[in-house]
Structure 1
Amino acid sequence: MNRLDDSGTYPIREFARITGVNPVTLRAWERRYGIIQPERTEKGHRFYTEEHIQHVRHILYWLDQGYPIRQVKLLLKDGPESAENNSDDWLEQQQQVIRAAQRLNTQHLDELWNAGFSSYPLAVYYERCLLPVLNFLRSSSTPPIVIHALEHLLKRKFGAMLLQQQRHNKGPVLLLVTNHEHAEIDALACACALGAAEFRVEYFGPNSTPADLQLTLAMIPAANVWVHFHPLNPAQQQQWQEYFEQCRLPHFISGAVPVTDTSDATLIALPDQLSKQVRTFITGIAEQNAVTPNPHTGGFH
């Protein structure tokens, strides 16, 4: 762990890894919203303490309740009785994205997304804004070209973000896979949320099978695997169950998981919400590191 010293203080990138909140958002919370104030070294570099970790958890709690970031400062001070209706802000953000998508206004979409990604942890913004927009457009009479364009633009955006993250994120590799193209946007959002929290994520596209994953693990020195599932047919479910019975590398599983018994210590079932999935993963990695380092020895023995 890259602490500044042994007194429980952390530089911004390590703090991002611990909390799941990326450095850009931490700076926005400090400068724009005034809800967190890091300490400074003599040279002016930010650092954070254990108290800051608890403070961020309080912020994330209110965001999980659906409150917009602009209300969090007052919520931290006075509680929910001081806040306005917590759904109006998210509804307005969703409507802005819908209007831009319906006009195929790619520049405005990118501006909206950049603003959202800087103000919120990526998982929160995806859950509260982007996923509801996708679900609304898919279930409405929206022309298919609009839906396809939005999905394409989101995949392109997430792909570019992930590539940028991979250039500077160090440490053990998390291999993230999904079994179906219909789950790819969720998987990419997950990859970017973890990448924003300074984890080194590798993702090689959708439609992965157990055989594909075994081959990939023979080539990639992954310390952990995350599999996000779209619903499986019975034959596919059997293949994945057999795969999990053999694997020894830690596997985190989300979505329509094909197993009911997750008592094996190498198989960690994650909650439904992406933001909670990310925090559960971070906690699980911290527990792994507290027990023993996890050098890559391959997914199977």
Structure 2
Amino acid sequence: MFPVKAAAELSGLTPETLRAWERRHAAVVPHRDGKGRRMYDAAMIERLARLHRLTGRGHPIRDLAGLDDAALDDLLEESRQTGYGGVEELPARMLDAIADYQVDVFDRDLSVAIATLPVSVLVARVVAPLLREVGVRWADGRLAIAQERLVSSLLRARLLSVLNQHPRGHEPRVLFATLPGEPHELGLLGAALHAHEAGLPVLYLGTGLPSAELARVATRLGAAAVAISSVDPGQAREALAGLRELDGLLPPGMPVWVGGANARYLAEALGLARVAAVTDPGALGALGRRLQKARTSRK
């Protein structure tokens, strides 16, 4: 049994979306524990994950909520056959290639996906499932450490090439980085790609930047915003200290967006006006438009 926050994370939703789907559409009916708190079993989470995948492919939740699980599976199978040329099978096929050290096959499939898929589809239906499957195969022994590192390095190289293809002039940029002690990079790269696709000028700085150095770069460039990823729960306390230091060093009015598994905790614990948790990559476009509107009004 899982509480709201865990159920949302496991199914790929935000807690707000999960609550809205329950309240407005009765997509699932949760259990209640002794204190009246909503709890979700594994079958409910799997159903929510199905609904999430189908809404991501354009099906309105109002049309899906009344369907049973078998009908949802039929819709998923139909979309697998018609949507983007069988992209659902791509992550498993790519990892099978890595298991045999067929680097050229993995790289070719990844290159074709990057060239043919919208960034939102690339991240949601290739990169994210690929990373989840890496974790599963590493945990059950089907993937060696060297193979996991190989996947990460190939993904990093190809995704960075997308960001570097089309520099966006001299507009104030959004800086993407992690603080010291946070080496997990692929989520940060995915967020930077979403921002790039939404039209934001992006400067990707990578992992492990001290707060003082990040503030120095942001100030020198007159950055539009600073985006930080924090994934490792063991680094949450250090991230709090780093963000407090960053807040004291950045110019007034420069927002800090925090993503990753620790985002909500960090934003709530800090309680700083400039620090906001961004758990939905799709929100980056709206944040960018808000920034642009604010800058225009000041001119």
- Relative distance call for 1:169 and 1:95 in structure 2 (3 A) is farther
2:209 is the counterpart of 1:204: no
Q: What 5-or-longer segments of structure 1 have no aligned partner?
A: 1-61, 297-301
Q: Secondary structure of the equivalent of 1:290? A: helix
| Counterpart mapping for 1:37-116 below 5 A | 65-67=52-54, 72=58, 75=59, 79-80=63-64, 84-86=74-76, 89=80, 92-116=89-113
Instruction: Decide which moves more: 179-188 or 232-241.
Output: 232-241
| Counterpart mapping for 1:252-267 below 5 A | 252-255=257-260, 256-257=262-263, 258-261=266-269, 264-267=272-275
How far the C-alpha of 1:287 sits from its partner, in A, is 2.5
String of CA shifts for 1:109-164, please: whole Å, max 9, x gaps.
23322443423423323565222223223323111111111111111111212211
Report the aligned-residue RMSD: 3.4
Structure-2 residue corresponding to 1:243: 246
How far the C-alpha of 1:228 sits from its partner, in A, is 0.8
Contact 1:181 1:207 (C-alpha < 8 Å) held by counterparts: yes
Larger helix share, 1 or 2: 2
Distance in 1, matches of 2:92 and 2:112, equals: 15
Distance in 2, matches of 1:68 and 1:116, equals: 21
String of CA shifts for 1:80-136, please: whole Å, max 9, x gaps.
468625279475233212212212222322332244342342332356522222322
Contact 2:212 2:245 (C-alpha < 8 Å) held by counterparts: no
2:143 is the counterpart of 1:154: no
- Relative distance call for 1:170 and 1:109 in structure 2 (3 A) is farther
2:277 corresponds to which of 258, 269, 281: 269
Name the TM-score, length of structure 2 as normaliser. 0.63
Contact 2:196 2:202 (C-alpha < 8 Å) held by counterparts: yes
How far the C-alpha of 1:267 sits from its partner, in A, is 1.7
- Relative distance call for 1:226 and 1:233 in structure 2 (3 A) is closer
Contact 1:104 1:149 (C-alpha < 8 Å) held by counterparts: no
- Relative distance call for 1:240 and 1:102 in structure 2 (3 A) is same
Structure-2 residue corresponding to 1:4: none
Contact 1:195 1:201 (C-alpha < 8 Å) held by counterparts: yes
Contact 2:177 2:204 (C-alpha < 8 Å) held by counterparts: yes
| Counterpart mapping for 1:166-205 below 5 A | 166=167, 168=168, 171-179=171-179, 180=181, 182-205=183-206
Contact 2:267 2:276 (C-alpha < 8 Å) held by counterparts: no
Q: Secondary structure of the equivalent of 1:135? A: helix
- Relative distance call for 1:294 and 1:95 in structure 2 (3 A) is farther
- Name the count of aligned residue pairs: 225
- Relative distance call for 1:190 and 1:102 in structure 2 (3 A) is same
Instruction: Decide which moves more: 79-88 or 119-128.
Output: 79-88
Task: Write the letter of the residue equivalent to 1:86.
Answer: L
Task: Write the letter of the residue equivalent to 1:266.
Answer: R
Structure-1 residue corresponding to 2:285: 282
Identity %: 14
Name the TM-score, length of structure 1 as normaliser. 0.62
How far the C-alpha of 1:68 sits from its partner, in A, is 9.5
Distance in 2, matches of 1:198 and 1:165, equals: 11
Q: Secondary structure of the equivalent of 1:208? A: coil
